[in-house]
Amino acid sequence: MKHWFRQASGLLIFCSAIAGAAPVLTDSSREAGYQVEMIQDGFRLPWAFEFVDQDTLIFSERDGRIGVYSRAEDKTRYLPGLPDIYFEGQGGLLDLKPSPEFEKEPWIYVTYSALPEKSRRQNNSNPVTVLGRFLLTGEGFNQYRIEQWQVLLETDSATSTNYHFGSRIAFDPGRYVFFSIGDRGERPNGQNRKTHAGSILRVTFTGKPSRNNPFYGQSSSRPEIWSYGHRNPQGLAYDSFRERLWAIEHGPRGGDELNIIEPGNNYGWPEVSQGKEYWGPISVGVEHKAGMVDPVRVYIPSIAPSSLMVYSGEAFPEWQGDLFAGALVKQHLNHIHLSEEGAIIGETRMLTSLNERIRDVTQSPEGWIYFATDSGKLYQISPLSE
């Protein structure tokens, strides 16, 4: 089952039209100090993996399954007790993330697509993104089970399309939940604050809008909206080193964006984009516009970012505070090197020789990096053995 990949010698410049002056490198160097091991395969449409104890990862599969994987036993179990999941197109069971207070109250937060009651009554298939949570009870891999599944927020994001659901979850230290929703395939949603689509939302741990949210109490906005003007953010991570929220999202035919998310900001979609139309060479919009925030980084051509993590482990101290994003189209792990203040000072494209669409990235208790691929494999990055 287990396969090892060692890095060949050499560090090559990677030529790409990526905005910003920081260098972009393809990492193919044994001197990089890590080794990559495929530890399991056979997962079905994996979306998210997270550690719930020293040994066990919990994971979601987009077709509607939640399971646990034991590193010690090299085994997988699937857990019953899920609600109906709408699995069509890009929809399905999406992100999951343990609460910051998981050791006290073992809540797991999840996002998924579902048909709301209104759609069922009208006999249509207009799905929405849902934020929910459940208790993970039991002691260890062989006893874990799902209890008390709760719907926290059934968002107002219904469209007749089956794509651009987002969706990732992040927590800040102030007991708030952030989660992202794409424009749901209808571009005007990005600038329409009466819908949750095209936004990043902030709610309490029980799914209520915070009174400190930027548009709370405004009749022209949904109170849960934290930022808007987003196309399809599939990476979201809170940076505890610098106390900021990062998001990375898909652009159209180029124009993928890395943003620092601030409350109330408009990130421009669809009025501002450096991507191009799918049906011709016409720019979707313009690169800059008053009142709209420019991205920190733009990727042309697209890398198709799928996840985002701020590394905080001890295994690779030189990486602490850096960003890691999975890339689908360009098939690599994108390592974004940051200064202490959070400026981008370099970028390394890792694992390009794997030829895998990297869907999710997380870290283990010992600070190793784990990532999952669309082909159903789970890999581990650990320090290079002597």
Q: In 45-67, which positions are buried (b, 16+ CB within 10 angstroms) versus exposed (e)?
A: bbbbbbbbbebbbbbbbbebbbb
Buried b (16+ CB within 10 A) or exposed e, 93-127: bbbbbbbbebeeebbbbbbbbbbbeebeeeeeebb
196 belongs to the catalytic site: no
Residue (of 224, 228, 249, 229) closest to 237 by Cα position: 249
Catalytic residue among 164, 196, 250, 337: 164
Adjacency order of strands within the sheet including 11-13: 11-13, 24-27, 344-350, 332-338, 323-327, 309-310
Contact 224, 201 (CB under 8 A): yes
Q: Which of 231, 223, 119, 222 is nearest to 184 (CA)?
A: 231
For residue 271, the tally of other CB atoms under 10 A from its CB is 17
| Backbone torsions φ then ψ of 184, nearest 5 degrees | 60, 30
225-228 sheet: strands from edge to edge:
169-172, 176-181, 199-204, 225-228
Distance CA 120, CA 268 (A): 33
Question: Count of residues for the chain?
Answer: 386
Q: Which two tokens stand for residue 227?
A: 């930022």
Tokens linked to 223: 């109170």
Q: Please give the positions annotated as active site.
A: 164
